């Protein structure tokens, strides 16, 4: 009788242990994967607050619809913020914030920096910035912390499931190749074709290094129609009411090569899932059909001080801010509004292969 009871108790205990273990396994796999973000001011959430840069957004009217200025270069949220909220990542914190330590890092980190580029010389005119090489260095530091914290097998699992996004390249044109009178490096004087080849060669190394550090699901965003931003319109008045053609041609040249590079890396790096996000196509569609998307002004900066399109002076405390931000595509001379970011984010999340290839972010997230 006693032995019977003991056996029953043992079986019950083992069942309880099994249920607890099963539940804990379910809960960890149900948790959203970590979100690691690399890029420039389009996705910076405050890293530049901590460095000696002219490229800053931690003052009003930036963040006017976010609740306060945080270092985001828009009136509200970045594209990554919106995607993160939709997928239950929440808001991914900046690497340089003193609170981005310990278990916080396990959910992902944002390494992006305003004025940062693929080339290390890019953005030099604006002072300090964290270029893509240095952002990958910062991830490598966090990677070591994660391995120390949870061990190699768990860490590799975390990186396998994580989403890595790279939004970079615009500054290599705006704050390097197209910067008048500023000799950034010898590449400044190269032909557009040669300059883009240099960018691709560097980016190939960088994305391969990210893969070698454990990144598997990697979303790479192309360069948008930079000839349509208010700053380019105002510094090239001969374009009149149209977007400036040279910057857009450079972006298209870069994007064509980038698409080939993504295909090359996908086939060469076994186990990788590279995704090409065509923000150029999405923004061009929004600018051409702005009324359909609910906008009234597709060409001027909402936060403006000087220039026909408000593109001559950066947004600042003495700027005038448009009353209805939801009617403007551009927040300031360089960056989209929260309203525009929402549309871009939704199309990257759920768009077809014209927007994002070979799968959208929701499909990547679930894969």
Active site residues: 41, 332, 335
For residue 179, CA distances in Å to 10, 124, 125, 183, 192 come to: 75, 11, 9, 8, 14
Asked if residue 303 has a cis previous peptide bond (ω within 30° of 0), the answer is no
Interacting residues of 27 by C-beta distance below 8 A, sequence separation 6+: none
CA distance 241 to 220: 31
Neighbours of 101 (CB within 10 A): 11
Q: What kind and span of H or E run contains 111?
A: none
Sign, Cα dihedral of 176, 179, 183, 186: positive
Residue with tokens 């702005």: 290
- Would you say 324 and 293 are in contact if contact means Cβ atoms under 8 Å apart? no
What is the token pair recorded at 81? 């913020």
For residue 208, CA distances in Å to 171, 263, 327 come to: 21, 13, 40
Of the candidates 245, 240, 237, 327, the one whose C-alpha atom is nearest the C-alpha of residue 286 is: 327
């Amino acid at each position: 009788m006693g032995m019977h009871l003991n056996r029953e108790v043992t079986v019950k205990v083992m069942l309880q242990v099994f249920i607890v273990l099963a539940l804990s396994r379910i809960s960890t796999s149900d948790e959203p994967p970590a979100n690691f973000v690399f890029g420039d001011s389009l996705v910076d959430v405050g890293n530049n607050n901590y460095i000696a840069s002219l490229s800053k957004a931690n003052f009003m009217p930036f963040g006017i619809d976010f609740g306060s200025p945080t270092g985001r270069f828009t009136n509200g949220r970045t594209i990554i913020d919106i995607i993160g909220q939709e997928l239950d990542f929440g808001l991914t914190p900046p690497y340089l914030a003193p609170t981005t330590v310990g278990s916080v890092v396990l959910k992902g980190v944002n390494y992006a920096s305003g004025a940062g580029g693929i080339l290390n010389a890019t953005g030099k005119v604006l002072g300090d910035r964290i270029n893509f090489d240095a952002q990958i260095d910062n991830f490598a530091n966090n990677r070591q912390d994660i391995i120390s914290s949870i061990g190699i097998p768990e860490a590799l699992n975390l990186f396998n499931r994580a989403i890595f996004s790279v939004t970079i390249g615009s500054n290599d044109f705006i704050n390097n190749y197209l910067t008048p009178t500023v000799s950034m490096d010898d590449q400044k004087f190269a032909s557009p074709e040669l300059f883009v080849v240099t960018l691709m060669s560097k980016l190939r190394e960088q994305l391969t290094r990210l893969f070698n550090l454990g990144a598997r699901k990697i979303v790479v965003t192309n360069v948008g129609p930079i000839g349509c931003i208010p700053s380019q319109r105002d510094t090239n008045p001969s374009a009149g009411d149209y977007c400036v053609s040279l910057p857009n041609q450079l972006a298209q040249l870069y994007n064509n090569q980038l698409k080939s590079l993504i295909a090359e890396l996908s086939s060469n790096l076994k186990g990788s899932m590279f995704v090409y996000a065509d923000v150029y196509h999405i923004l061009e569609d929004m600018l051409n059909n702005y009324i359909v998307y609910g906008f009234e002004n597709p060409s001027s900066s909402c936060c403006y001080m000087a220039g026909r399109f408000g593109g001559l002076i950066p947004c600042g405390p003495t700027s005038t801010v448009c009353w209805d931000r939801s009617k403007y595509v551009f927040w300031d001379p360089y960056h989209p509004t929260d309203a525009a970011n929402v549309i871009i984010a939704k199309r990257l999340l759920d768009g077809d292969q014209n927007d994002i290839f070979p799968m959208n972010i929701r499909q990547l997230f679930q894969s």
